Every structure is written in structure tokens, then in C-alpha cells.
């Protein structure tokens, strides 16, 4: 048994999209993979899909709302220690700035930022004791190019970069690395709905995708939506032994959308 198969990987918000693709990538390694979502049925269904796709039985579905402290405690009780923590959970939605309520600001911060803070605070000390660990925050190109239609979302994605860098400094020299991955617009069920709302639900999706990229994300060099598996490939690397010299970094898998040399 190699070291990878002995490890436990927790991917928050992994019942679809990028999170499910990341969980699938680690399952192929033979690691124990904790699949997380708010709904028990959806969480178990995602674990089943990953099991079918990989032939791997080491899937642990844990249903809990990690946007709350109570939900975090549910995960801690079920999974006391992990070796790789992927803070993927996130929500987004277009709301004009003047219409974003205090409650919505708080909710976005709880789900997109505090969920990862709580998980990292709990799991990092064990990683440090063992002398090995990987913590990865899934941010967004919106952290650097704040979208006018969802300023509250962009704020949380920028905050994740700050938290990640500060944590990397906190555990310097311990064998634990902390990094942020910035996906660009990615084809997930949520993004498919978002695009339909932005450019028109009556268009064939291929046409809607092209129009969205051309009109709302014109700096993309990929000229299409990224696929979840393309994001998962970078996250899988960052969560591996091969990435041991990569820490405190902000890594882009944005399809060239961010028009700058460094993030």
C-alpha cells in the first residue's frame, strides 16, 4: 500500500460540478474520499457515481451544511482527521449591489469563507503533528476581476486568497502546504443556469456558452467554458506529494481569462 492509499481527502461541496470531479480524481488514487453535501440523498448519490466511475470503494458520504458551525461539527465527528482538505464549497448568484442585503452578505461570507476557515482550523493541527498535509481553497477568477453583477461573491473569493496565504505562513516549515486554485468560468449545473439567466434560456446551450464568453468574459483565451475535470487536474496535483515546494501560491486554471502575468 502506497502513501496515497492511506490518506483521507475531504472535498467540501462535492455532490456535483468541480467538487465531484475533484473527489473523483482523488478516488482514482485509492485514497479514502469524504464526499460532502447538505442533502443526504444527493451526497450518497454522488458517492455512488464516483464509486462507479473509479471502481473504488473508499467513499465516505457525509451530509452536513458546512456554512454553519453545527454542520462543521457533524463533519468533525464523522471524520476526525484528514490529510488533504479541499475547500470547494461555494455559492454564487447575480444581484445588483444596491439590492444585496446585510443578511445576504453574511450568508455568502459564512458559506464561501468561514466554511473553509472552520475546516482548516480543525484539521491543520493534525496535519502539522504528522508532518504532512495539503489544504486547498477553490477560489475563482472573480477574486481578481470582481464581477459587477455579483460583488458579494467576488469579495468572498478574494478573502479566500488572503486566508490561504496567511495559513501558509502560519504552518511554514511544517510539511503542510496551503494554496489557492483559481478556476475560470466552468461548466457546472449552477453555471449552466446562470448563463441561461444572463443570455437567454431559449438559446441552444452551445450558442449561449459562446455568447456568454464573448460578451461577459471576453478576455478568455480558451474561448469556452472550462470543464470540471480540467480544474480537478490542477487540484489533484496540488494535493499530491509532487507539489511539496508549492505553498502560499495562487494558481490559475482560468483559461487565460485573467489578463495579467501573475495573479
- The residues facing 180 across adjacent strands are 137, 250
Q: Which residues are catalytic?
A: 153
CA distance 114 to 128: 21
**Cβ of 220: how many Cβ atoms within 10 Å?**
22
Q: Please, are residues 150 and 94 in contact by the beta-carbon 8 Å criterion?
A: yes
CA distance 197 to 10: 32
Coil, helix or strand at residue 27: helix
Q: Please, are residues 150 and 194 in contact by the beta-carbon 8 Å criterion?
A: no
CA distance 116 to 110: 9
Distance linking the first and last C-alpha atoms of the chain: 38
CA distance 115 to 109: 9
User: Which residues, 6 or more positions from 201, have their beta carbon under 8 angstroms from its beta carbon?
Assistant: none
Amino acid at each position: 500500500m502506497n502513501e496515497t492509499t492511506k490518506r483521507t481527502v475531504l472535498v467540501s461541496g462535492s455532490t456535483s460540478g468541480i467538487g465531484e470531479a475533484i473527489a473523483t480524481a482523488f478516488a482514482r488514487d485509492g485514497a479514502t474520499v469524504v464526499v460532502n453535501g447538505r442533502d443526504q440523498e444527493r451526497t450518497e448519490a454522488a458517492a455512488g457515481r464516483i464509486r462507479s466511475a473509479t471502481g473504488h470503494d473508499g467513499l465516505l458520504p457525509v451530509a452536513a451544511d458546512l456554512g454553519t458551525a453545527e454542520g462543521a461539527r457533524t463533519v468533525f465527528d464523522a471524520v476526525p482527521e484528514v490529510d488533504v482538505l479541499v475547500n470547494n464549497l461555494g455559492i454564487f448568484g447575480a444581484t445588483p449591489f444596491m439590492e444585496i442585503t446585510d443578511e445576504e452578505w453574511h450568508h455568502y461570507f459564512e458559506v464561501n469563507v468561514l466554511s473553509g476557515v472552520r475546516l482548516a482550523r480543525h484539521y491543520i493541527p493534525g496535519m502539522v503533528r504528522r508532518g504532512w498535509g495539503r489544504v486547498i481553497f477553490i477560489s475563482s477568477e472573480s477574486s481578481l476581476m470582481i464581477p459587477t453583477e455579483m460583488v458579494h461573491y467576488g469579495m468572498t473569493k478574494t478573502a479566500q486568497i488572503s486566508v490561504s496565504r496567511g495559513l501558509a505562513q502560519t504552518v511554514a516549515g511544517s510539511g503542510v502546504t496551503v494554496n489557492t486554485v483559481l478556476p475560470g468560468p466552468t461548466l457546472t449545473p449552477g453555471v449552466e443556469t446562470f448563463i441561461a439567466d444572463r443570455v437567454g434560456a431559449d438559446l441552444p446551450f452551445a450558442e449561449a456558452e459562446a455568447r456568454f464568453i464573448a460578451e461577459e468574459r471576453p478576455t478568455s483565451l480558451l474561448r469556452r467554458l472550462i470543464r470540471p475535470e480540467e480544474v480537478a487536474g490542477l487540484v489533484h496535483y496540488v494535493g499530491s506529494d509532487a507539489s511539496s515546494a508549492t505553498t502560499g501560491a495562487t494558481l490559475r486554471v482560468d483559461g487565460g481569462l485573467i489578463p495579467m502575468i501573475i495573479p
